[in-house]
Chain A
Amino acid sequence: MDADALASVTPEQPVGVAIIDDHPVVIDGVRAWLATEPRLTVLATGDDPDEVLRVAPAADVVLLDLRLHGRVVLDKLAELSAAGRRVVVYSEHSDPQTMLAALDAGAVAFLAKHEGREHCVATVLDAAADRPYVAPALAGAMVGDSRPGRPMLSDKEREALLLWFQSMSKASVARRMRISEHTVKQYVDRARIKYSRVGRPAATKAALLARAIEDGLIRPEEIGIYRSQAAADWPTP
């Protein structure tokens, strides 16, 4: 499936969200976080991805707990991502390996559960627009990535990721790097976009990349650079 197959989100319509978690208390908590944002509406919740998406096939963003009934559902994540579902993974497993594996499988974003309150709404909104959102825990995983197939990050991108991971404040990172907050976000997002070329192809990755080009975050000719760093090759969107 290619990027065009993804349902586009219009600004007038609220973003439909599906929440998949096996703990009702977490679902209620996430629902409460999302309720603070009028542009978001929760369409369905439950502990079975297939069941939830049958009820809400139009969901723009799926919030997925990576561990369902004691099992890490990376395969389900890959399946959903390949089918063009924008999956935001959130998990109490915030070790770097798990986070990077989730990105490889096609997750649009990763939230450590304790980051939920602060970053959940922003992550879902960006995910719906196929824009990257890198919460601090994921920034840490990216900056500490030592796998052979990892993308090549520039020094500035690495530094921005590292400082964002440390301080959790883009204003402080901007002050420290003597650049604007907007530029900090650009560095972090560029690093994230480079990860869309790693791991198996997924429609969600293609969409991220397409939107990044559209937004001017990266230039189309830069894709070749990412391609050469990628473990697997796949067609340009």
Chain B
Amino acid sequence: MWAEPDAADRTHRVPGPRTPELVLANRAGRAAAAVARISDRGARIVVVTIALVWHLAIGLPAVLAARAEPAVPQLVIGCWLLVAVLGVLAGVRLLRDAPLPAPPLVALLLVVDVVVFAALGRAQVFGPANWVWGGLAWFFVVVLWRQPVRWLLALLVAHAGVGLAAVVLYDATEAADLARATMALYGTSSLPAAVFAGATTLAALSRDRTATAAATNAMLAERAAAEQARRERTERLALVSAAAEEVLTELAQGRADPTDPQVQRRCARAAARLRRLIAESDDVPHPLLHELRAAADLAERNGLPIELVTIGTPPPLPVRVRRSLADPLAAGLADARDWARLTVVSSPDEVVVGLVTPDAAGPEAAPPPTEDGAGEVEFHYERDGKIRWTQTRWRR
């Protein structure tokens, strides 16, 4: 009952892009993160260098010189080697910006801490072979980079606990020993803690500052675009008003005849353009709406009254999706006769663009160009003798 003899009904999927374009809203955040990462890089190089140089240039000669002294020298040297390997691997990952598995590394360092103190024996607790007093704290800094400062402080406290426990268990509790232990802990922990806290603060500051700068730039760009859109609208309003005034003046002066179809058409066109201008409520038009308005303006110059109704705001769309949505409609508009109704209904997950024109003899609407990729935009075209109906639909 509904199928007209010349009814053409085609539905197929139009391919869309695979990679989404940069979203304006995310730009500020990403720029801030990038700057923070770069400014943080210097501090990372410094920390990794200090840890490894200390380990190699200060820890190693002392351990080798006193290699016969500890109770179990193999364990002390083995742990030194283990931390050296761990330090190089962690340092490389840190400098390459790869994530570090902090909890297992921290556990390993604490185990090394305990094992070395146990293997040193009473005589070497304060001896040159005890490389963990001074060297280990820098590795704490390396493995805990970008973690909250309290984690490092907790680890330093644990380190101090291990050292003091060893001192107590070895019964080296004379005032001089305790003073030496405290000096060793304070002297070797304060600098890493300060560097760590300083770097964290600097990174946070630079991130804030970049975010502010990016947000300011985005706002300026937005304002410029809004200003541009306003200017364009004012110009179009002047143009449209002039056309409307002209026909109204002619009508008022009796030079134009209201029964003349030509005059009626001019009125309809002027009204449609004014309505479209009034309907533009967005400060900065979404690129899709901008393109459709441009197509409508172009078709209107050929004397076609066009109604353009938009509902909702389209989400940011990749360029190819936008093209797949707009191009078939723009082509349909160019072929339209008598009148056209262009509608855009948008929600965050769906954008449907529809074009309805009277069905007069004429060429069929060309399907949109086929691009590679997964189909994201559905194209529908039909004519039923009364109307030609072109619809493109994107679903997330």
Which residues does A use to contact B, with CB under 8 Å?
Answer: 92, 94-96, 114, 137, 140-141, 143-144, 146, 162, 165-169, 171-172, 174-176, 178
Tell me what chain B mostly uses at the interface: helix, strand, loop, or mixed: strand
> Complex: how many Å from CA A165 to CA B353?
11
Report which of B281, B347, B382 forms a contact with A144, defined as CB distance below 8 A: B347
* B341 and A168 contacting across the interface, CB-CB below 8 Å: yes
Q: For the complex, would chain A's binding face be called helix, strand, loop or mixed by DSSP majority?
A: helix
With known contacts A144-B311, A172-B384, A166–B347 Cβ distance under 8 A: no
**Can you report 27 residue pairs joining A to B where beta carbons are below 8 Å apart?**
A94-B279, A95-B279, A95-B281, A96-B311, A96-B312, A114-B271, A114-B275, A140-B343, A140-B345, A141-B311, A143-B311, A144-B311, A144-B346, A144-B347, A162-B345, A166-B356, A167-B354, A167-B356, A168-B356, A169-B387, A171-B386, A172-B386, A174-B2, A175-B3, A175-B7, A175-B384, A176-B389
CB atoms of A144 and B356 under 8 A apart: no
**Bitwise interface map of B from 264 to 292 toward A, beta carbon under 8 Å scored 1, else 0:** 00000001000100110100000000000
Name which residue of chain B comes closest to A141, CB basis.
B311
Q: Known interface pairs A96-B311, A140-B309. Does A165 touch B343 (Cβ–Cβ under 8 Å)?
A: yes
Contacts of B354 in A (CB 8 A): 166-167
- Check if B352 is an interface residue, CB within 8 A of chain A: yes
The 5 A-B residue pairs with the shortest CB-CB distance, nearest first, are A175-B2, A144-B311, A166-B354, A144-B312, A140-B311
For B352, the chain A residues whose CB sits under 8 A away are 162, 166
CA distance A9 to B347 in the complex (A): 40
Q: Which residues of B contact A144 (CB under 8 A)?
A: 311-312, 345-347
Contacts of A172 in B (CB 8 A): 356, 384, 386-387, 389
Q: Using Cβ atoms and an 8 Å threshold, which residues of chain A touch B356? A: 166-169, 172
Chain B residues near A175 (CB-CB < 8 A)? 2-3, 7, 382, 384
Which chain B residues (345-379) contact chain A, with CB distance < 8 Å? 345-348, 352, 354, 356
The reply on B391 being an interface residue by CB < 8 A is yes
